[in-house]
Amino acid sequence: MDLDKRPAPRNGTRRPAPRAKKKTPDFDFVTADWATPGRDEGLRHTLIVVAFLLDLLLHSGVGLAVWNAFVHSAQPPWNPIMSGILAGVIASFLHRTFLQRLIRTTLGKALFGLRLRGDDGSYPTLWRLIKQWFVGAFLAVAAPLQILG
Protein backbone atom coordinates (compact mmCIF):
# COMPACT_ATOMS: atom_id res chain seq x y z
CA MET A 1 0.00 0.00 0.00
CA ASP A 2 1.37 3.39 -1.01
CA LEU A 3 1.35 5.83 1.93
CA ASP A 4 1.13 8.89 -0.30
CA LYS A 5 -2.25 7.93 -1.73
CA ARG A 6 -5.39 8.13 0.30
CA PRO A 7 -8.10 5.57 -0.38
CA ALA A 8 -11.09 6.90 -2.27
CA PRO A 9 -14.39 7.17 -0.38
CA ARG A 10 -16.66 4.17 -0.75
CA ASN A 11 -19.40 6.00 -2.65
CA GLY A 12 -16.95 6.98 -5.40
CA THR A 13 -17.07 10.75 -4.79
CA ARG A 14 -14.05 12.67 -3.74
CA ARG A 15 -14.08 15.18 -0.96
CA PRO A 16 -12.71 18.59 -1.89
CA ALA A 17 -9.64 19.73 -0.02
CA PRO A 18 -10.44 22.18 2.77
CA ARG A 19 -9.89 25.78 1.75
CA ALA A 20 -7.39 27.80 3.66
CA LYS A 21 -8.78 31.03 5.02
CA LYS A 22 -7.46 33.97 3.11
CA LYS A 23 -6.32 36.72 5.43
CA THR A 24 -6.91 40.21 4.19
CA PRO A 25 -5.12 43.14 5.76
CA ASP A 26 -7.81 45.72 5.10
CA PHE A 27 -11.56 45.63 5.26
CA ASP A 28 -13.87 47.65 3.10
CA PHE A 29 -17.48 48.67 3.37
CA VAL A 30 -19.85 46.75 1.13
CA THR A 31 -23.55 47.24 0.77
CA ALA A 32 -26.48 46.60 -1.49
CA ASP A 33 -26.07 46.75 -5.27
CA TRP A 34 -26.79 50.48 -5.50
CA ALA A 35 -23.66 51.47 -3.53
CA THR A 36 -21.18 48.65 -4.10
CA PRO A 37 -17.52 49.49 -4.60
CA GLY A 38 -16.82 50.75 -8.10
CA ARG A 39 -20.37 51.87 -8.89
CA ASP A 40 -20.58 55.39 -7.50
CA GLU A 41 -17.62 56.10 -5.23
CA GLY A 42 -18.92 59.54 -4.24
CA LEU A 43 -22.22 58.14 -2.98
CA ARG A 44 -20.46 55.28 -1.23
CA HIS A 45 -18.05 57.59 0.60
CA THR A 46 -20.90 59.92 1.55
CA LEU A 47 -22.82 57.00 3.05
CA ILE A 48 -19.76 55.93 5.03
CA VAL A 49 -19.26 59.43 6.44
CA VAL A 50 -22.94 59.86 7.33
CA ALA A 51 -23.00 56.41 8.99
CA PHE A 52 -19.91 57.34 11.03
CA LEU A 53 -21.49 60.63 12.09
CA LEU A 54 -24.69 58.84 13.16
CA ASP A 55 -22.64 56.41 15.24
CA LEU A 56 -20.73 59.33 16.75
CA LEU A 57 -24.03 61.06 17.54
CA LEU A 58 -25.25 57.90 19.28
CA HIS A 59 -22.10 57.64 21.42
CA SER A 60 -22.27 61.34 22.27
CA GLY A 61 -25.95 60.99 23.15
CA VAL A 62 -25.16 58.27 25.66
CA GLY A 63 -22.50 60.49 27.22
CA LEU A 64 -24.85 63.48 27.37
CA ALA A 65 -27.60 61.37 28.94
CA VAL A 66 -25.27 60.15 31.69
CA TRP A 67 -23.94 63.68 32.24
CA ASN A 68 -27.50 65.02 32.48
CA ALA A 69 -28.51 62.30 34.94
CA PHE A 70 -25.51 63.05 37.16
CA VAL A 71 -26.01 66.83 37.02
CA HIS A 72 -29.61 66.54 38.17
CA SER A 73 -28.97 63.98 40.91
CA ALA A 74 -28.93 65.19 44.51
CA GLN A 75 -25.55 63.63 45.32
CA PRO A 76 -23.63 62.73 42.15
CA PRO A 77 -21.25 59.87 42.94
CA TRP A 78 -18.55 61.36 40.71
CA ASN A 79 -17.79 64.35 38.50
CA PRO A 80 -20.70 64.65 36.02
CA ILE A 81 -18.53 65.80 33.10
CA MET A 82 -16.04 62.97 33.50
CA SER A 83 -18.93 60.52 33.91
CA GLY A 84 -20.43 61.66 30.61
CA ILE A 85 -17.13 61.43 28.77
CA LEU A 86 -16.41 57.98 30.20
CA ALA A 87 -19.93 56.78 29.32
CA GLY A 88 -19.54 58.01 25.72
CA VAL A 89 -16.17 56.28 25.36
CA ILE A 90 -17.52 53.02 26.81
CA ALA A 91 -20.58 53.20 24.54
CA SER A 92 -18.31 53.75 21.53
CA PHE A 93 -16.08 50.81 22.45
CA LEU A 94 -18.95 48.39 23.08
CA HIS A 95 -20.87 49.51 20.00
CA ARG A 96 -17.94 49.43 17.56
CA THR A 97 -16.40 46.19 18.83
CA PHE A 98 -18.73 43.74 20.54
CA LEU A 99 -22.04 44.81 18.98
CA GLN A 100 -20.47 45.10 15.52
CA ARG A 101 -19.01 41.61 15.91
CA LEU A 102 -22.42 40.20 16.90
CA ILE A 103 -24.63 41.84 14.26
CA ARG A 104 -21.89 42.45 11.64
CA THR A 105 -22.54 46.19 11.49
CA THR A 106 -23.03 49.26 13.66
CA LEU A 107 -26.37 51.00 13.96
CA GLY A 108 -25.30 53.90 11.72
CA LYS A 109 -24.06 51.55 9.01
CA ALA A 110 -27.17 49.38 9.30
CA LEU A 111 -29.38 52.32 8.30
CA PHE A 112 -27.65 52.35 4.90
CA GLY A 113 -27.12 48.61 4.53
CA LEU A 114 -23.35 48.93 5.04
CA ARG A 115 -21.19 46.18 6.51
CA LEU A 116 -17.50 45.86 7.20
CA ARG A 117 -16.18 42.91 5.15
CA GLY A 118 -12.97 41.72 3.58
CA ASP A 119 -12.32 41.10 -0.09
CA ASP A 120 -13.00 37.41 0.45
CA GLY A 121 -16.34 38.12 2.14
CA SER A 122 -15.16 37.41 5.68
CA TYR A 123 -16.06 39.59 8.61
CA PRO A 124 -13.41 41.10 10.87
CA THR A 125 -12.56 39.28 14.08
CA LEU A 126 -13.26 40.75 17.49
CA TRP A 127 -9.54 41.40 18.02
CA ARG A 128 -9.33 43.23 14.70
CA LEU A 129 -12.29 45.43 15.67
CA ILE A 130 -10.71 46.16 19.06
CA LYS A 131 -7.43 47.10 17.36
CA GLN A 132 -9.26 49.37 14.90
CA TRP A 133 -11.12 51.05 17.76
CA PHE A 134 -7.91 51.80 19.68
CA VAL A 135 -6.19 53.12 16.54
CA GLY A 136 -9.20 55.34 15.83
CA ALA A 137 -9.33 56.58 19.43
CA PHE A 138 -5.62 57.39 19.33
CA LEU A 139 -6.00 59.30 16.06
CA ALA A 140 -9.05 61.17 17.41
CA VAL A 141 -6.95 62.40 20.34
CA ALA A 142 -3.68 62.89 18.44
CA ALA A 143 -5.07 64.85 15.47
CA PRO A 144 -6.30 67.88 17.47
CA LEU A 145 -3.09 67.86 19.53
CA GLN A 146 -1.06 67.87 16.30
CA ILE A 147 -3.02 70.89 15.03
CA LEU A 148 -2.72 72.78 18.32
CA GLY A 149 0.93 71.89 18.94
* pTM summary value: 0.70
Tell me which range, 15-19, 88-92, 110-114, 140-144, is most confidently predicted by mean pLDDT: 88-92
* Per-residue confidence (pLDDT) for residue 147, from 0 to 100: 86
* Per-residue confidence (pLDDT) for residue 10, from 0 to 100: 60
- Has residue 58 got a pLDDT over 90? yes
Return phi, psi of residue 29, to 5°. -75, 135
- Has residue 63 got a pLDDT over 80? yes
- Stretch 46-53: mean pLDDT, rounded? 91
**Percentage of residues of the chain with pLDDT beyond 90:** 40
Return phi, psi of residue 52, to 5°. -60, -45
